[in-house]
């Protein structure tokens, strides 16, 4: 099916919700057969059933969506007594036979994010059952929101041909629902994973936890409301999800350095003098919801500290892009055909007028024309990879600039976290490299970045060998990449030989991280696990192998810590976790590693990064600990 054409018809066709019905097996309301008199969706919300749609049988389970049209026959065959579904009837005012065919087309879809669609169905059903015209109107809006989410997930699945990135999807959910009460548990439930796993993904891919990112979004939105409206502070607080205006004011000051009123006073003049500033409008506050600061997670830079979100000035990235898009597009177009002396040089080309040699690079967002030898690169996630190849980017994010193992970063501009498009634009890059999640958190997303300069979205391998090879290709540094990988392989071989006299053939290794209120065991990806298990070829504890490396365990409870400790233990205790360490100290000391005196203390901040430069230094630290402890 041509989904782009189908969505285009949805965008230009008047559609009206006719009815929504909830069927449940336990109360006997599920019909044996339904003959449609209009277009419809069937949304399975609980249990399992065989549903026949116009002769085609589908095995549906939570959550599954079927679509059909007029005169279609639907036969329900529930498998068990807990089956439930919604039947959503709608009518499209089509203007052509092609349009009618599109809205009557039968198809089935299994969403990857269940909760957003389930919430929309519940809201739609609740509103539709109310008697007031206002509720009916709101139900119509909820229906279109439901359709949008269905089409978005269908297109994402079709484009990625795999399960989409959970962090990217969680970011999308936060941007749509930041006014509502959102907890880490709720986000994790949407994507069928544990809270600790989702938090780990966020921190590995963005450098901040999911709730810290939610707070950023709310503070950022509140700034926009303060500058573009005359809404009272209480209205602004309610509009971004805080019922308590005093709590909102304290939180706002914590992350911006000033109160909401002071921020408005200090920055309003600059906004009003900007000719691109949108007209002021009032802000209608939705029903307020509460937010608990205790939802915050421990962060890489310290518990509850989100100072990386602090802004020194208001962000006008979206407004600036309105006026720069045409100019940049024209510049980019002219760079493909060459420039003349009478034309201004493009912002993302070299300062002289010589033509820049380009090539087509295929990445996660498609194919993009990039310079063969980029000179002004901005990297939103990978920094050590570039520096390992002798390339220093003109800009990078706060997260990777804070890496304690990278030196000589003083002249690399900090574009912030989330990245500030205004800052990126001012650096005049000729190439922007980002990961999927970082592309999502930029205001305007990937498209905004791509208007500034050619932008490619790459995989986050967290593997120095793969990453160096990838960036050698991107930067035209293939020979440098080959040399680095050869030198790294030689170093690994030398270190294996160096430690072999000190390590028993059957000795096992573990990595434990103690954080405030939590205990984590690492596998073979980062925190030294890739070095210990993959590069040096050392053995893991059996429990680590089955539950962590080959499973999905990450966070563990205190009482099972001994099960995950092998003959040797690498231990990282975070700042603020001293009390938690005392709680489990006896368990650790009574383990095989503790009794043998083979516990090695490592620095969490040093071992969290997995770029090539950091991994090389981590390798040195690990080998020195192993040899030094045995002398």
Predicted confidence at residue 270, as pLDDT, reads 53
351: confidence class by pLDDT, cuts 50, 70, 90: very low
354: confidence class by pLDDT, cuts 50, 70, 90: low
Question: Collapsing DSSP states into helix, strand and coil, what is residue 371?
Answer: strand
Rounded CA separation 20/78 (Å): 20
- Beta strands 39-46 and 84-93, pairing class: antiparallel
Instruction: Work out the number of other CB atoms within 10 angstroms of the CB of residue 188.
Output: 19
Please provide residue 502's backbone torsions phi and psi, each rounded to the nearest 5 degrees: -100, -5
Check whether 364 has a pLDDT greater than 90.
no
461: confidence class by pLDDT, cuts 50, 70, 90: confident
Contact call for residues 298 and 574 (beta carbons, < 8 A): yes
Check whether 4 has a pLDDT greater than 50.
yes
Region 566-584: mean pLDDT is: 92
Region 376-386: mean pLDDT is: 93
pLDDT (tens digit per residue) in 194-238: 777 788 788 777 777 888 889 888 988 898 888 888 888 999 999
Region 457-465: mean pLDDT is: 87
Q: What is the token pair recorded at 168?
A: 């990217």
In terms of pLDDT, which residue wins out, 276 or 417? 417
Check whether 319 has a pLDDT greater than 80.
no
Check whether 316 has a pLDDT greater than 80.
no
Contact call for residues 53 and 72 (beta carbons, < 8 A): yes
Helix segments in 83-182, DSSP class H: 97-104, 114-128, 133-160, 166-177
Burial class (CB in 10 A: 0-12, 13-18, 19+), 28: exposed
Mapping DSSP onto H, E and C, the string for 473-532 reads: HHCCCHHHHHHHHHHHHHHHHHHHHHHHHHCCCCCEEEEEEEECCEEEECCCCCCCHHHH
Check whether 280 has a pLDDT greater than 50.
no
Instruction: Work out the number of other CB atoms within 10 angstroms of the CB of residue 452.
Output: 27
Q: What is the mean pLDDT of the chain?
A: 81
Percent of the chain with pLDDT over 70: 84
Instruction: Work out the number of other CB atoms within 10 angstroms of the CB of residue 519.
Output: 21
Name the one residue in this structure whose structure tokens are 């035209």: 476
Name the one residue in this structure whose structure tokens are 């498998």: 79
Question: Is the dihedral angle over the CA atoms 13, 19, 22, 25 positive or is it negative?
Answer: negative
**Which residues, in sequence order, are CB contacts of 338 under 8 Å at separation 6+?**
355
Kindly state the DSSP code that residue 26 receives in the 8-state scheme: T
In terms of pLDDT, which residue wins out, 277 or 438? 438
pLDDT (tens digit per residue) in 400-431: 898 888 888 888 999 987 788 888 999 999 99
pLDDT (tens digit per residue) in 15-41: 999 999 999 987 788 888 899 999 999
**Which residues, in sequence order, are CB contacts of 9 under 8 Å at separation 6+?**
94, 99, 102, 103
Predicted confidence at residue 380, as pLDDT, reads 92
Region 450-471: mean pLDDT is: 91
pLDDT (tens digit per residue) in 159-185: 655 556 778 778 888 888 888 888 888
Check whether 339 has a pLDDT greater than 50.
no
Check whether 472 has a pLDDT greater than 60.
yes
Kindly state the DSSP code that residue 276 receives in the 8-state scheme: T
Predicted confidence at residue 306, as pLDDT, reads 34
Predicted confidence at residue 476, as pLDDT, reads 93
In terms of pLDDT, which residue wins out, 529 or 630? 529
* CA 479 and chain centroid, separation: 33
Contact call for residues 187 and 219 (beta carbons, < 8 A): no
Question: Collapsing DSSP states into helix, strand and coil, what is residue 368?
Answer: strand
Contact call for residues 449 and 425 (beta carbons, < 8 A): no
Predicted confidence at residue 310, as pLDDT, reads 33
pLDDT (tens digit per residue) in 112-169: 777 788 888 988 999 999 878 999 999 999 999 999 989 988 887 776 555 567 787 7
Rounded CA separation 356/350 (Å): 8
630: confidence class by pLDDT, cuts 50, 70, 90: low
Closest to 605 (Cα-Cα) out of 406, 320, 383, 326 = 406
- Beta strands 39-46 and 64-68, pairing class: antiparallel
pLDDT (tens digit per residue) in 45-89: 888 888 998 888 988 877 889 999 988 999 999 888 889 999 999
Rounded CA separation 588/592 (Å): 8
Question: Collapsing DSSP states into helix, strand and coil, what is residue 221?
Answer: helix
Check whether 300 has a pLDDT greater than 60.
no
Name the one residue in this structure whose structure tokens are 């408005």: 264
Region 495-508: mean pLDDT is: 93
Predicted confidence at residue 69, as pLDDT, reads 92
Please provide residue 508's backbone torsions phi and psi, each rounded to the nearest 5 degrees: -115, 155
Region 431-457: mean pLDDT is: 88
Rounded CA separation 512/588 (Å): 10
360: confidence class by pLDDT, cuts 50, 70, 90: very high
Rounded CA separation 391/385 (Å): 9
Rounded CA separation 612/575 (Å): 26
Rounded CA separation 436/363 (Å): 11
Q: Is the peptide bond before 418 cis (omega within 30 degrees of 0)?
A: yes
Check whether 288 has a pLDDT greater than 50.
no
Instruction: Work out the number of other CB atoms within 10 angstroms of the CB of residue 293.
Output: 12
Rounded CA separation 288/452 (Å): 37
287: confidence class by pLDDT, cuts 50, 70, 90: very low
In terms of pLDDT, which residue wins out, 280 or 222? 222
């Amino acid at each position: 099916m041509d989904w782009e054409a189908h969505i285009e018809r949805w965008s230009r066709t008047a559609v009206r919700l006719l009815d929504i019905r909830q069927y449940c097996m336990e109360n006997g309301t599920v019909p044996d057969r339904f003959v449609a008199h209009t277009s419809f969706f069937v949304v399975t919300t609980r249990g399992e059933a065989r549903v026949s749609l116009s002769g085609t049988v589908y095995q549906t389970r939570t959550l599954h969506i079927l679509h059909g049209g007029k005169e279609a026959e639907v036969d329900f065959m529930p498998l068990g007594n807990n089956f439930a579904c919604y039947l959503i009837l709608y009518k499209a005012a089509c203007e052509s036979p092609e349009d009618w065919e599109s809205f009557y087309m039968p198809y089935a879809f299994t969403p990857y994010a269940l909760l957003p669609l389930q919430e929309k169905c519940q809201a739609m059903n609740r509103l539709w059952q109310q008697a007031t015209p206002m509720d009916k109107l709101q139900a119509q809006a909820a229906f279109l929101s439901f359709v949008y989410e269905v089409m978005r997930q269908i297109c994402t699945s079709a484009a990625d041909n795999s399960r989409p990135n959970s962090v990217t999807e969680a970011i999308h959910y936060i941007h749509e629902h930041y006014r509502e009460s959102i907890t880490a548990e709720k986000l994790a439930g949407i994507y069928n994973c544990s809270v600790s796993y989702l938090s780990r993904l966020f921190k590995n891919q963005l450098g901040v936890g999911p709730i810290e990112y939610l707070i950023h979004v709310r503070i950022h939105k509140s700034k926009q409301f303060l500058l573009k409206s005359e809404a009272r502070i209480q209205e602004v607080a309610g509009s971004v999800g805080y019922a308590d205006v005093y709590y909102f004011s304290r939180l706002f000051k914590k992350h911006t350095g000033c109160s909401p009123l002071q921020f408005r006073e200090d920055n309003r003049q600059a906004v009003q003098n900007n000719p691109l500033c949108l007209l002021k409008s009032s802000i209608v506050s939705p029903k307020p919801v509460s937010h608990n600061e205790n939802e915050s997670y421990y962060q890489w830079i310290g518990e509850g500290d989100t100072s990386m979100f602090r802004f020194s000035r208001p962000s006008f990235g979206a407004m600036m892009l309105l006026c720069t898009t045409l100019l940049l597009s024209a510049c980019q177009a002219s760079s493909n055909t060459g420039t003349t002396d009478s034309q201004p040089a493009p912002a993302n080309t070299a300062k002289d007028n010589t033509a820049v040699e380009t090539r087509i690079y295929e990445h996660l967002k498609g194919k993009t024309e990039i310079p063969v030898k980029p000179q002004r690169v901005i990297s939103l996630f990978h920094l050590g990879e570039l520096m390992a190849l002798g390339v220093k980017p003109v800009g990078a994010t706060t997260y990777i600039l804070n890496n304690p193992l990278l030196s000589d970063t003083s002249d690399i501009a900090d574009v912030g976290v989330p990245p500030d498009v205004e800052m990126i634009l001012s650096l005049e890059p000729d190439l922007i490299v980002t990961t999927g999640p970082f592309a999502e958190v930029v205001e305007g997303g990937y498209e905004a970045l791509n208007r500034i300069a050619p932008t490619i979205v790459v995989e986050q391998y967290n593997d120095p060998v793969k990453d160096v090879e990838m960036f050698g290709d991107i930067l035209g540094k293939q020979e440098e990449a080959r040399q680095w990988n050869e030198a790294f392989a030689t170093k690994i071989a030398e270190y294996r030989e160096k430690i072999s006299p000190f390590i028993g053939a059957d000795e096992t290794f573990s990595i434990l991280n103690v954080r405030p209120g939590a205990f984590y065991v690492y596998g073979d990806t980062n925190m030294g696990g890739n070095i210990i298990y993959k590069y040096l070829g050392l053995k893991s504890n059996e429990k680590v192998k089955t539950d962590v490396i080959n499973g999905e365990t990450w966070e563990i409870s205190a009482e099972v810590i001994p099960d995950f400790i092998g003959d040797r233990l690498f231990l990282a205790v975070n700042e603020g976790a001293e009390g938690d360490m005392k709680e489990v100290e006896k368990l650790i000391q009574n383990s095989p590693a503790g009794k043998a005196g083979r516990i090695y203390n490592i620095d969490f901040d040093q071992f969290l990064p997995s770029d090539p430069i950091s991994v090389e230094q981590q390798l040195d630290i690990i080998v020195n600990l192993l040899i030094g402890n045995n002398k």
